[in-house]
Amino acid sequence: MGGGERTTSVKSDDAMLERPIVTETPPEEELESREPSLVPPAPPPGLDTILYERDERSARSDLRRQIAAMELELAHLVSSAFPRKGIEFRVAGARGPRVLSVDELERVRDSLAGRIREVKRQLDGQVAVETRKRELIDEMVCDPGAHRWIRVSNQDIGEPGCKHWHSRPKWGLLGMLAGWWRVKVSSGCPLERGLRPPDGLMATKRQRRKRRRLQASGPGDPPAGPAAVGRSQPSAVVRDDAQRAPAARERAAGPQRPAPPWGSFPLSELVVLIGLILLVAGFFVSGQQGGVMMIVGLALGALGGLELAVREHFAGYKSHTTLLSGAVGLTVLVLLILVSPLHPAVCAGAAVLVFAGSVSLFATAFRRRSGGALFRIRGS
Amino acid sequence: MEATTGRSSRALKARMRAISDRIRGAQALQIRREPIPSAYRIFFRHIGLDPDTNRTPIEALIFRRIYEGGLYSNNRVEDALAVATLEVGVALQAFDADRIDGEVGLRRSLEGEGFEGRTAPLPSGTIVIADGQRPVGILFSRTAEGREPGKRTTRMLLIAIGVSGVPELALEEGLWVAASGLRA
C-alpha cells in the first residue's frame, strides 16, 4: 500500500547504535515539476501506447489508495455498529475479477464513499435515539411511578444481550393499587437452542432412522450381527454412566411438586382468579359493595395462596414457615381485636407469641416431612 | 509435492476441531479489520469483487463455521487448505500437478477464451490462474474441471495467492501448513 518512502541506515564510526535516518522521497508531483513531462496529456487516437498506461498509473494508484482507506473505514463502521440491525453495508462489485479501468475504480470509490456517508448518517440517527433511551432509563430509575409500564431493552440502547428495564408495580396488583412502582432489570436471555441448520445439513431420512435405531438399542446394548464385528464397543465406564444418568437427573430435579387432593382440576388457581376479579371490580365499584368485594377478593386470593403454601409445606417440597405462621398470628390478632375486650397492644403481644410458637411448630413439621431440612427454596 | 486425496487423517480432523472451537461469532465481524484479511478485502475491491458477496477465503471459512456450527471434514485437500487459511489467513488453491503444463501464474483471459467446466467463454479480461496452455482457475473462484486434485492424483501443486499487504512470510507459512496437513 503506497510506500513512497525510502529507509536509509547510516552508521557512524563511533556510534554504531545510532537510530537509522529516515529520508522521504519527494512527492511524485514535485519530481515531475523539476523536469518537463514527456507524457502527453492523452494518447494519440487509436494507439494504445505504454505512455498512456504510464499516465494512468498514478491515477490508479491514488484511486486504489482511496479505496483501501475507505474499505478500512467501512470495516471499522461494521464492527462498531454491532449489534444494531437494519444498516446496509454492502457495496456492489464491478463484475470482477478483472483489472478495472480508471472510471470503474472511480465508481467503486464513489460507491464506497456514498455507503460510508449513509452508514454514518444512520449510525448518528440511531445514536441520538439510543442516547434518549439511556436518559429515559435514568429517569425511570429515579421516578418509576411517572414512567408506568415503560420498557427499554438493550437493543434500544445499541447493546448486545437481552437485558431490559421495565417499570412495574411492586407486588403485582397490590402495588399497582397502592402506587408502589419500581424498575425491574431483567438480564436473562432465553436458553440458547441454536439456529436451525441449513437444509443441506439436515439429517436425511436414512440418518434419522439410523439415529432412532441406535437410541432404541440403547448405549448399553452391544450391536448384534456380523456388521458389529470390528465396530468399537462402548466402554464399561460409558455403559455405567448411561445407566446412572437417569437416576442422577431425577436426583438433580429433586422432589416433585405435590399434587392437590382434588387431582388436576385447577381449583386454587380459579379461586385466586375469582379473588383477583373481585378485587379489581371492587376497585371500580363505589360504595360499601365495592369494599366488600375487595375484602372478599383479598380473602379468596389469600385462601388460594395459603392452600398452596400448606400443601407444599407439609409435603416437604418447599418451606412456608414464615407465611403460615404469619397467617396464624394475623388471624389471632384480628379475632382478639374483634371479639375480646383486651387492649390492642395486648392483642398484638398475644399474636406475636402465637406467631413465634407457630414458627417453631411449622419448622418442626417441615423438618420432619422433608427428611431433615430446616428450609428449602423452590424444591432445590 | 507428492500427495493424494482421500479422507483426512485423525490429526487433521482434530486440528480442524481445535480451530473450530476457537472461532467465535464476533470474529466474523472483527476479522475484516485484521491486516491480512483486510488486505484481501481491499484487493477484492480493486478487482471489482464485493467481499461481502464473494467472501475472501478466510471470511468464507469463518462464516461457514458460524452457519454450520462447526468445521466439518470434506476431504484431505480441502481440510488442509482450510486449516492453513484459518491459521495464517492467506488464500490457497490446490491443483493436480500432473494436469498442469508449465509454470502457473496470473493473467487476463483472452477474447473468447474457454474455461473447462464452463460452456460459455470467459468474459474478456477476467483474471485467471493459468498454466502455459490454458486457464486452470478463476482468481478467488472455481478451479477448471479436471485440474483440481482427484482420486487419481498423486502429485499436487499448491499455490498461495499473495496480494499487496500480505507478507511473503505469511504466504510461505500458509503453504507449509497446508503441505504438512496433506502429509499428516
For residue A5, pLDDT beyond 60: no
CA angle centred on B176, ends B170 and B182, rounded to 5°: 140
Residue pair A100/A135 in contact (Cβ under 8 Å)? The answer is: no
Residue A372 has what pLDDT?
Answer: 67
B64 touches chain A (CB under 8 A): no
Q: Which of A245-249, B69-73, B131-135 has the lowest mean pLDDT?
A: A245-249
The stretch A150-157 carries a mean pLDDT of 88
The nearest CA of chain B is from the CA of A49 a distance in Å of 18
For residue A213 the three cell numbers come to: 435405531
Total Cβ atoms within 10 A of residue A371: 9
- Three-state DSSP class for B135? strand
Residues 6+ apart with CB under 8 A from A57: none
Tell me which of B79 and A221 has the higher pLDDT. Answer: B79
C-alpha separations of A185 from A142, A172, A181, A228, B20 in Å: 14, 16, 13, 56, 35
How far off is chain B from A18, nearest CA to CA, in Å? 27
Please determine, for residue A223, whether its predicted confidence score (pLDDT) is greater than 70. Answer: no
Are B119 and B57 in contact by the 8 Å Cβ rule? The answer is no
The rounded percent of chain A whose pLDDT value lies above 90 is 15
Comparing CB atoms, the residue among A92, A98, A194 nearest residue B47 is: A98
With contact defined as beta carbons under 8 Å apart, do B128 and B137 qualify?
yes
> CA nearest A61 in B: which residue?
B46
Lookup: cell for A344:
390492642
**Mean pLDDT over residues A13-41, rounded?**
46
Inter-chain residue contact B108 with A108, CB threshold 8 Å: no
Main-chain dihedrals φ then ψ at residue A362, nearest 5 degrees: -65, -40
Backbone angles phi, psi at A169, to 5 degrees: -75, 145
Residue A376 has pLDDT above 70, yes or no: no
The model's confidence at residue B82, banded by pLDDT at 50, 70 and 90, is very high
CB < 8 Å to B139, chain A: 97
- Indicate yes or no: CB of A105 within 8 angstroms of CB of B46: yes
Give per-residue pLDDT as tens, B51-81.
988 899 999 999 989 888 888 888 888 999 9
What does the pLDDT read at residue A243?
63
Please indicate whether residue B6 or residue B176 has the higher confidence score (pLDDT). Answer: B176
Q: Does B56 touch chain A (CB under 8 A)?
A: no
Query: Cα–Cα distance between B178 and B82 in angstroms, integer?
Result: 8
In which band, very low, low, confident or very high, does the pLDDT at A160 lie, cut at 50, 70 and 90?
confident
**Looking at chain B, how many residues does it have?**
184
Residue A329 has pLDDT above 70, yes or no: yes
Query: How many CA atoms are closer than 13 Å to the CA of A161, on its beta-carbon side?
Result: 12
Going by DSSP bridges, is the β-strand pair A21-24/A5-8 parallel, antiparallel, or unpaired? antiparallel
The pLDDT confidence band at residue B160, using thresholds 50, 70 and 90, is very high
- Greatest Cα pair distance, chain A, in angstroms, is 122
**B127 touches A: beta carbon within 8 Å:** yes
3-state secondary structure of A222: coil
pLDDT at residue A255, as a whole number: 59
pLDDT band at A236 (very low <50, low <70, confident <90, very high): low
pLDDT value for A379 = 44
Give the bridge partners for B91, in sequence order. Answer: B161
CA gap A125, A119 in Å, rounded: 10
What pTM, to 2 d.p., does this model score? 0.56
A56, pLDDT greater than 60: yes
The mean-pLDDT minimum among A216-220, A278-282, A292-296, B176-180 falls in: A216-220
How confident is the model over A173-190, as a mean pLDDT? Answer: 83
Would you say A105 and A144 are in contact if contact means Cβ atoms under 8 Å apart? no
Confidence at residue A344, expressed as pLDDT on a 0 to 100 scale: 87
Helices and strands, number each (H, E), in chain A: 10, 5
How many alpha carbons fall within 13 Å on the CB side of residue B44?
25
pLDDT digits (tens, 9 = 90+) for A85-119: 778 888 888 787 888 888 889 999 999 999 999 99
**Three-point CA angle A242, A244, A250, nearest 5°:** 115
Percent above pLDDT 90 for chain B: 28
pLDDT score for A197: 56
Chain A contact for B143 (CB, 8 A cutoff): no
**What ipTM describes this predicted complex?**
0.87
At A230 the pLDDT is: 41
Q: What is the mean pLDDT of residues A167-182?
A: 86
C-alpha–C-alpha distance, residues A23 and B97, integer Å: 46
Average model confidence (pLDDT) across chain A: 75
Question: Taking all residues of chain B, what is their mean pLDDT, rounded to a whole number?
Answer: 88
Q: SS3 for B137?
A: strand
Longest dimension (CA), chain B: 47
Most confident range, picked from A52-66, A178-192, B24-38: B24-38
CA A335 vs CA A46, A293, A307, A340, B49: distances in Å: 113, 21, 21, 8, 85
Q: Which residues of B touch A85 (CB under 8 A)?
A: none
Q: Are the Cβ atoms of B47 and A100 closer than 8 angstroms?
A: yes
Dist. CA B50–CA B105, nearest whole Å: 23
CA Rg, chain B, in Å? 16
